[in-house]
Copies of this chain bind each other. A is one copy, B any other.
Amino acid sequence: MYAQITQFTKMLNTLSRLLDKAQKHAEANGFQLEALLNSRLAPDMLPLTNQVQMVCDTARLATSVLTGKSAPVFEDAEKTVPELKALIEKTITYVSSMKESDFSGWEERIVAPPGWSGAFLGKDYFYQHGVPNFYFHMVTAYAILRHKGVRIGKMDYIGQLPFLR
């Protein structure tokens, strides 16, 4: 399904490239990348490392919940950019492993994400939690990098567009 597989994998690849740029920025400016990974937009918001983990976690969970297929367990123990990039890669592999038929009927299926006390329709879960939450952490990750001076711009976030002409 485009809404899940294409949308998630495209942004996950984008996130991986943003981390590459963060790494180059740290190297070029002679500071420890860890300072960037531990940066936050507010004292009571999570730092960049966790934002990346939560992007992956949201894509993984939404894919699993909507297909009913088991998801790989992520330990969220990443501490470096190579580890975070490997997590993103694992997430892309999992999401991409789904076929269109795996999502069959997802919009009207009643789903109950593990650990949640409630259940709702697949479309409600996806459009009112999965997607907004995915972009929440994606854009927050981007915003932390921008706020800290990494030279990225809107087109790094949007990425290549498949124009027909």
Q: Which A residues form the contact surface with B (CB < 8 A)?
A: 2-3, 6-7, 10-11, 41-42, 45, 107, 110, 118-121, 123-124, 127-129, 131-133, 135-136, 138-140, 142-143, 146-147, 149, 154, 157-159, 161-165
Contacts and interface: CB of A to CB of B under 8 A. Distances in A.
13 contacts: A2-B123, A2-B127, A3-B3, A6-B127, A7-B131, A10-B128, A41-B143, A41-B146, A121-B162, A128-B158, A128-B159, A131-B131, A135-B139
A120 B41 contact: no
Contacts of A135: 131-132, 135-136, 138-139
The 6 tightest CB contacts between A and B, nearest first, are A135-B135, A139-B139, A118-B163, A42-B146, A41-B147, A7-B127
